[in-house]
Amino acid sequence: MSKPQPLNHTREQITSLDKDLLALLAKRRELSLDVARSKEVDIRPIRDTQREKELLSRLVKQGREQGLDAHYVISLYQSIIEDSVLNQQAYLQSRANPEIQKQQYNVAYLGARGSYSYLAANRYCDRRQVNMQDLGCKSFDEIVQAVESGHADYGFLPIENTSSGSINEVYDVLQHTSLAIVGETTIEVGHCLLAKNGSKLTQIKTVYAHPQPISQCSRYLSLHPDYKLEYCSSSAEAMQKIVDNDDPTVAAIGSAEGGALYQLEAIDQDLANQKINQSRFIVVARKAIAVPEQLPAKTTLIMATGQKPGALVEALLVLKAHDLNMSKLESRPIPGTPWEEMFYLDLDANLASDAMQSALKELERITRFIKVLGCYPCETVNPTQLTNSQLMIEPDTSRAEHSSKTTVQNASINNELLRYCKAHKADATEVTIGQLQVGDGQFGAIALISLPQDSGRYSHKAKLLKEAGFQAVILEGLSHQVDVNSNVLEFKKALHQFDLECIISVEHESELKFATEHASILLITGKQMHNKTLLKQVGSLHIPVILERNTMASVEELLTAAETILTQGNQQLILCESGIRTFSDSIMPSLDLAALVDIKTITHLPVLINPSYASNKQTLMPHSVAGKQLNADGLILNFTSDNNDFDAELASHSELLRELYK
């Protein structure tokens, strides 16, 4: 092998390439603003999903030619397009409302620099290329007052969060204000544990945080019952407390970005209960704005219906009659009038539209109170997806003769037979680990679950899984969980107590060390099937590996990935067919039973099926039975539910296994 060039040199090349990429992205942004200027003249909608689809499918094809997989290209371009659409929206919005075209916005928000509200406000101003003069406030009321009195042009109020739901206090404030909602913005909220440089995680005794982050990180905090919680009025105040306290045992919950403003270090990350943790903010101003018709708009209104039965339904029927989609409905008590509610509605419509105007008139007739809080551009850019057929790899006729079935069956490189072929090894491979036996006529059953939360019931769960007929358990999603170490250890103990093998699903190379320490088998999920580095690493291990087929991969690609593992030395390889994208359903994959037959004809390796992703309640049993009849060497069944439904799922899985073992 030729000597690679020095690391520094390669890194310099990457640095220079990245600079070029940024310049190209900036140029693309400029062009997209030119497009917005044309749309302003032609009065065309900003969003053109047809154009996006064409663009994505062309890029997927071009990317493939350069060795870039579809998933990578699509996710990259979805975020480029989102940026482009939001910039175009901001441009048209300011053109339609010349009074908002300023060099600087005075912005009132909760907390101080570094709070999530500050980050949201910053993002909003950046997008509009205006300077932000920030005015930190201690409460939502203070924000509203700052705008009402003219001290601030805009106020930022957090209205909902993907983990903790609506923020009631903000709805209550909105009931009494004369301000109008003029915008919205959503930010990703990455909660971290922030401490002074040098503080260690093990030292932490006290955590300062705003009640919202505390509820959003409840799971993490419940794993640390010894932490003393100190409630603060904002995340920024929490961070300031850490700066002021010369104490290595205190930490705050906040964003890494915000923490950096206070020279705090993130000593633990991803604390939020939910993987996707986003907060939506509304922007309030003294004067309502007009939204150009080319922009997707939202209208928020509040109303109190009559007190007769069915009053709310009647109001909602008005919306239905005008084909108005309601994206949110909240209710809040009306102070001073017990048991009466004020309803908050977000409608996907422009206030100026005929439908909205006539619906409002009708609603005025049947409600006791109704007020429009504002109409503003909707900032949610739902990513354009490609259809399955657009994602399919087109058959490449020039390669057709090489990939014919006979070639795969006796595939060779430089006259050396590929290791997965029957021609290389006539006897079927059997993998045996403890009670789990797959291949060469042996049929195994494996349960796939995420690590249960209640460690007290580990033993009970393991017992039930064993009694249901499983011989092994796959733990998935460990990278998203906290305190994995001790929990996995506990769970593994429980599994071993009942002779169940522990399999760990590996999502990234960095998890390998942990996985090999704890598991007796590794699972490489379909998503990682193309990750050559990971394949090579598991190939050099002495531990059985299950390799799952990617939903977009051909049989040949799966076998090529298998070959990468075998070539490194590890012959304890099991393949798994879990479904591929087809034309049957736009979301659910289809179990490729024909591929099962093909793979079994070509290779000596055991092949499992996992029908869980590709089946519903009715089809799970027939799919599994068909798989077994077609000589699958085992079955993986997913447990999708949490504790409440675990028992029901277990009962049906156990019935299925009984049927298969008949």
Does 508 sit near ligand ISJ (CB under 6 A)? no
* Integer angstrom CA distances of residue 289 from 151, 186, 351, 485, 513: 19, 19, 10, 53, 56
Q: What does the alpha-carbon distance between residue 49 and residue 95 come to, in Å, rounded to a whole number?
A: 23
Q: Closest CB to ligand ISJ among 35 and 68?
A: 35
Pairing of strands 501-506, 521-524: parallel
We find the least distance from the C-beta atom of residue 77 to ligand ISJ, in angstroms, to be 8
Is 51 an interacting residue with respect to ligand ISJ (CB under 6 A)?
yes
Q: Which pair of structure tokens corresponds to residue 443?
A: 């049929």
What minimum distance in Å lies between the beta carbon of 324 and ligand ISJ?
Answer: 23
Residue 88 CB, nearest approach to ligand ISJ (Å): 6
Q: From CA 355, how far away is CA 287, in angstroms rounded?
A: 23
In angstroms, what is the minimal distance from the CB of 35 to ligand ISJ? Answer: 4
- 384 or 525, CB closer to ligand ISJ? 384
Rg of the chain taking only CA atoms, in angstroms: 29
DSSP letter assigned to residue 500? P
Q: Binding segment for ligand ISJ among 80-88, 338-346, 473-481, 570-578 (CB under 6 A)? A: 80-88
Residue 608's SS3 state is strand
Give me the least distance between CB of 73 and ligand ISJ, in Å please.
Answer: 13
Q: Which residues contact 439 (CB under 8 A, 6 or more apart)?
A: 428, 429, 430, 431, 574, 605, 606, 633
**Binding segment (CB under 6 A) for ligand ISJ, from list 44-52, 232-240, 461-469, 651-659:** 44-52
Interacting residue with ligand ISJ among 32, 240, 537, 551 (CB under 6 A)? 32
48 versus 440: smaller Cβ distance to ligand ISJ: 48
The token duo for 535 is 């394949």
Nearer to ligand ISJ by Cβ, of 33 and 261: the residue is: 33
Shortest Å distance, C-beta 40 to ligand ISJ = 12
Q: How far is the CB of 130 from ligand ISJ (least distance, A)?
A: 22
Using the minimum distance from each CB to ligand ISJ, give the nearer residue, 55 or 261: 55
Q: Which is nearer to ligand ISJ, 87 or 487 (CB)?
A: 87
Q: Does 35 bind ligand ISJ (CB under 6 A)?
A: yes
Only one of the segments 50-58, 193-201, 299-307, 558-566 lies at the binding site for ligand ISJ (rule: CB under 6 A); that segment is 50-58
Stretch that binds ligand ISJ, among 78-86, 215-223, 510-518, 624-632 (CB under 6 A): 78-86
Q: What's the CA gap between 629 and 280, in Å, rounded?
A: 51
Distance of CA 42 to the CA centre of its chain: 37
Phi (first) and psi of residue 286, to 5 degrees: -70, -35
Nearest distance, CB of residue 48 and ligand ISJ, angstroms: 4
For residues 55 and 256, which CB has a smaller minimum distance to ligand ISJ in the complex?
55
Site membership for ligand ISJ, residue 446 (CB under 6 A): no
Told to check if 191 binds ligand ISJ by CB under 6 A, we report no
In the list 40, 48, 172, 341, the residue contacting ligand ISJ (rule: CB under 6 A) is 48
Q: Using CB positions, name the residue nearest to ligand ISJ.
A: 84
Type of residue found at 152? A
Partners of residue 374 on adjacent β-strands: 300
CB 119, min distance to ligand ISJ, A: 25
Instruction: Please answer whether residues 231 and 211 qualify as being in contact, where contact means their C-beta atoms are separated by less than 8 angstroms.
Output: yes
Residue 236 Cα to chain centre, angstroms: 26
Q: Does 386 bind ligand ISJ (CB under 6 A)?
A: no
Minimum CB separation of residue 295 from ligand ISJ in Å reads 12
Q: Comparing C-alpha atoms, which of 351, 319, 318 is closest to residue 181?
A: 351
Residue 423 in the binding site for ligand ISJ (CB under 6 A): no
Residue 14 or 41 with smaller CB distance to ligand ISJ: 41
Residue pointed to by tokens 């603060």: 232
Q: Which stretch binds ligand ISJ (CB under 6 A): 17-25, 46-54, 209-217, 460-468?
A: 46-54
Identity of the residue, 79 or 641, whose beta carbon is nearer to ligand ISJ in the bound complex: 79
Query: Please, what is the minimum distance in Å from the beta carbon of residue 52 to ligand ISJ?
Result: 5
Q: Which is nearer to ligand ISJ, 53 or 286 (CB)?
A: 53
DSSP 347-414: ESS-TTSHHHHHHHHHHHHHEEEEEEEEEEE----PPP---HHHHSPPP-GGGTTTTSHHHHHT-EET
* Contact window for ligand ISJ (CB under 6 A) among 83-91, 459-467, 641-649, 653-661: 83-91
Answer for which of 59, 60, 70, 81 binds ligand ISJ (CB under 6 A) is 81
For residue 501, state whether it binds ligand ISJ (rule: CB under 6 A): no
* Minimum separation from the CB atom of position 125 to ligand ISJ (A): 22
Work out whether 40 is an interface residue with ligand ISJ (CB under 6 A): no
Residue 288, judged by CB atoms within 10 A of its CB (0-12, 13-18, 19+), counts as middle
Q: Is 85 in the site for ligand ISJ (CB under 6 A)?
A: yes
Across the strands, what pairs with 133?
106
Six-digit token string for 249: 């045992």
**Least distance from C-beta 47 to ligand ISJ, angstroms?**
4
Collapsed DSSP state (helix, strand, coil) of residue 485: helix
Q: Which has the closest alpha carbon to 542: 507, 516, 578, 504?
A: 516
Q: Which stretch binds ligand ISJ (CB under 6 A): 81-89, 243-251, 456-464, 577-585?
A: 81-89
Exactly one of 59, 84, 241, 283 binds ligand ISJ (CB under 6 A); which one?
84
**Residue labelled with tokens 């290389």:** 424
- Could you say whether residue 55 binds ligand ISJ (CB under 6 A)? yes
Sign of CA pseudo-dihedral 206, 134, 212, 342: positive
**CA-closest candidate to residue 537, choices 502, 501, 503, 561:** 561
In the bound state with ligand ISJ, the residue whose beta carbon lies nearer, of 61 and 424, is 61
Structure tokens belonging to residue 596 = 């099962």
Total site size for ligand ISJ, rule CB under 6 A: 11
- Residue 189 and residue 381 in contact, taking contact as beta carbons nearer than 8 Å: no
Q: At what angle do helices 458-468 and 484-497 cross, to 10 degrees?
A: 40
Selection from 552, 617, 631 nearest residue 590 by Cα: 552
Give the integer Cα–Cα distance in Å for 657 and 445: 8
Tell me, rounded to whole angstroms, the distance of Cα 296 from its chain centroid: 24
In this structure, which amino acid lies at residue 235?
S
Provide the minimum distance between the beta carbon of 278 and ligand ISJ in the complex, in angstroms, as a whole number. Answer: 22
Based on CB atoms, which residue is closest to ligand ISJ, 127 or 496?
127
Determine how many CB atoms are found less than 10 A away from the CB of residue 54.
12
Should residue 378 be labelled a site residue for ligand ISJ when binding is judged by CB under 6 A?
A: no
Compose the 592-611 pattern: x for residues touching ligand ISJ by CB under 6 A, - for all others.
--------------------
With tokens 């049947």, the residue in question is: 366
Q: Binding residues for ligand ISJ, per CB under 6 A? A: 32, 35, 47-48, 51-52, 55, 81, 84-85, 88
